[in-house]
Structure 1
Amino acid sequence: MASIPKNGEPSTRQRTAPKDGSIALYLVNGVATVWDAQVAATLHCVHSVSGLRAGTLPGVSQQNGFLGLPLTLMQEETAYLVTQGIAHLIPLSLNPTVPSPSEIAQHTAARIKRVQALEQRAKEDEIRRRAASKAEFEKAGEEARAKREKRAKAKAEKERAKRAAEAGDEGGEGLFGGDERKDVTTKENDNTETSKSTLPTKVTASTPAVSAPVPDSTPSPGYFHTVPSHPVHSTTSSSQNVITTLPHPLFPFPTTPRDHALLGVFTTLQSLNLRMGLGPRFGGEYLIYPGDYLRYHAHFTSQVIVRDEPIRPAEIVAWGRLGTGTKKAGLICCWDDGQRGDKVQLRGDEEKKAEVEFYSLEWANFG
């Protein structure tokens, strides 16, 4: 059985590059953190890993109710993401070096360019929107003009037919009968031409070409102010610091049998489409939700049992009462990999034999 490197000892395992699309988790003093809002949303919505927000602003009232980035992850969440190839770890130094003036200027210039590109895109979208609105308005005007012409023509035809019928009812023609009908017909034609001339002339609707305005070197007030920024992570860092396999001297989890049990239970619950949260304040390892914790209350409070660890009757009573007091059922998670004592099974084919059994515990009159 191979030995596991202790804390501070270099790892002898072969380093592997992270997969394409792997999420970067920044390791700060042994805790994996997420500093990007989109990455946090991806972990929450796609991979069912919510973490815990820890960002605060000193002196702001009710800051504990509105925590923000960074997002901190439990050891189980971190190990699950790394072992599944979803993410990799990037250790950050506790004493980061101050960036050079050239790095600050380069990062600030890139940020200004990005914001100016967003402003430019917003202006182009506004021009397209106005052009489309104008074309729609002109199209509606053309349709209205055609309807008015159709109604005027139908009215003129109706009047002509009515007069012709009246002329037929009068019988024979007089001395000037034919001339009178000719004058009536001429007058009707004149009225029709007059009605047409009073209608608006047809305007050809043409969509003007969208011309991109020349970007202004001066940022728009209210949108952006030039403030030199500090790069979050140096782009010149070596790729040798990327952690893709666990355990690692900088992240020694899982190492003990209980660590493996916690990771095994967490992975099994993830495969059952359940979501886990911190459970110590409710007397358990995890709070287990049937889905997004923004939509559901936790249904279970879990207790992890390692291998052949005995359970005292008093513990069963305590877990049952705890579940009743918190309006949750107790979930006993029994993890067994076939080993006994403090032996640790390393990665290999035999590790896949580890099994997790679940037992629900609640009082008979619960609920």
Structure 2
Amino acid sequence: MNGKVHVWNADDWLKLREEYRIVGALIGCLAHLPRQDSFLGLPMVLLPEEVTLLLEQEVARLVSYPSLTCAPSNDIRQKFQEYRKCLYNQQVECFKEERKHQVMSMIDRIVEGKRRKLLELGHKKRKVGTESECSVLDESQSKNDETDANHVDQEALLREELDKIKCIDENSTLVQIFTGDVWLNEEDATPFPWQYPATSAENLRYKTFKDLWEKGHYLTGGQKFGADFLVYPGDPVKFHAQFLVVCIHSSEALSATDLVTLGRLGTSVRKTVVLSSLSDDGSSVMYQSLQWNVTF
């Protein structure tokens, strides 16, 4: 689609991330929260380097769906709406079951919290009454409060919490995630030719990406940091990037201004700037790191 490759299926997205360290970038809106941009969903768009790597590894196949370029028919719209409603209801039920297990496993802590709340409430009432001289603080009232707090009905409290879970319905603002692409017709899929890398610059980018990927790193696009790639020691959800990789041909000269810019950029974002280039015969990737030292 417009020269970009997308992954539409959640199972495929999860497998690529967990088994092949392919991160991509989620660009879709959430079904029930389409106007926010804090959390994005499927589809996932892949870097061209990721696409080429997956094709070389024979992990994926590249197809196009001509139907996606046309306005959906009424039947497709109806099918999609039914699918979305069914999927959302399934997710609501899964959420209810998970929440139920959480409540039952934490009921002792919930009861203890209820007791502390009752004791604090009784203490506040006695304090207000004393300050307004409308009542006199006595030991019997304090003991009554402690007795009420110690006799919290655990079963009644559990039923109350479970009733709250039952009130979750289709109008709740839960995040809906599509887990499939059932509205796409597999018979409509046609093989799509892929020609990347096609230039010397693309070849350098791809070989750099592949080499770092084979070394066990996670990689994402580095445009927002002025680099070609960001390199992570683990899943980007759990780790910050360690390196900013800039691909430069070995014959390309860097000015002093460019070196200073890259050095200060790496220091400002607390990452090591790495310059990558190909060897003379183009068979291997060479790296050079930049470190910014400040002297007074």
In which range does the TM-score fall when normalised by the shorter chain? 0.5 to 0.7
Q: CA deviation at 1:311?
A: 2.0
Larger-gyration structure (1/2): 1
- Aligned-residue offset at 1:79: 1.6
The corresponding residue for 1:40 is 13
The normalised TM-score by structure 2 is 0.59
Indicate the RMSD between aligned Cα atoms, in angstroms.
3.4
Give the equivalent residue in structure 2 for 1:363: 292
In structure 2, distance between residues paired with 1:36 and 1:305: 35
Tell me the alpha carbon deviations over residues 303-353 of structure 1, each in whole angstroms, 9 at most, x when there is no partner: 101242222222111111110111111011112463xxxxxxxxxxxxxx5
Separation in structure 1 between the aligned mates of residue 243 and residue 262 of structure 2, nearest angstrom: 11
**What's 1:234 paired with?**
185
Tell me the equivalent position of 2:44: 71
- What is the rounded CA distance, in whole Å, between the counterparts of 1:299 and 1:231 in structure 2? 39
Once the two structures are superposed, what CA deviation does each residue of 1:163-189 show, in whole Å capped at 9, x if it has no partner?
Answer: xxxxxxxxxxxxxxxxxxxxxxxxxxx
Task: Determine which of 247, 268, 280 is the counterpart of 1:325.
Answer: 268
Aligned-partner Cα distance in 2 for 1:104–1:64:
24
**Shift, 1:354, TM fit:** 2.3
1:90 partner amino acid: V
Cα distance between partner residues in 2 of 1:306 and 1:52 = 27
**Conserved 8 A contact 2:30-2:39:** no
Label 1:278 to 1:237 Cα distance change in 2 as closer, same or farther (>3 A).
same
Structure 1 segment 168-183 matched on structure 2, within 5 A: none
CA distance in 2, matches of 1:291, 1:68: 21
Partner of 1:95 in structure 2? 69
Structure 2 residue matching 1:294: 3-state secondary structure: coil
Instruction: Give the whole-Å Cα distance in 1 for the aligned partners of 2:183 and 2:250.
Output: 43
- The answer for unaligned runs of 5 or more in structure 1 is 1-27, 123-221, 224-229, 248-252, 339-352
| Cα gap change, 1:48 to 1:57, in 2 (>3 Å) | closer
Q: What is residue 215 of structure 2 aligned with on the other side?
A: 272
Mean Cα displacement is larger for which, 357-366 or 285-294? 357-366
C-alpha separation in 2, matches of 1:30 and 1:66: 25
Q: Tell me the matched-pair count.
A: 203
**Structure 2 CA distance, aligned partners of 1:254 and 1:73?**
15
Q: 2:256 matched to which residue of 1?
A: 313
Alpha carbons 2:30, 2:41 under 8 Å: kept: no
Report the 3-state secondary structure (helix = DSSP H, G, I; strand = E; otherwise coil) of the residue aligned with 2:197.
coil
The aligned runs of 1:147-296 (5 Å cut-off) are: 231-237=182-188, 241-243=190-192, 246-247=194-195, 253-296=196-239
Residues 281-315 of structure 1: per-residue CA shift (max 9 Å, x gap): 11111111111111111111111012422222221
Deviations 1:252-280 (A, max 9, x none): x2111101111110000101111111211
Shift in CA distance, 267/242, structure 1 to aligned 2, threshold 3 Å: same
Q: Deviations over 1:231-260 (max 9, x none)?
A: 53223226xx324x641xxxxx21111011
**2:25 counterpart residue number:** 52
State how far apart, in whole Å, the 2-side matches of 1:291 and 1:31 are: 26
2-side partners of 1:43 and 1:356: how far apart?
25
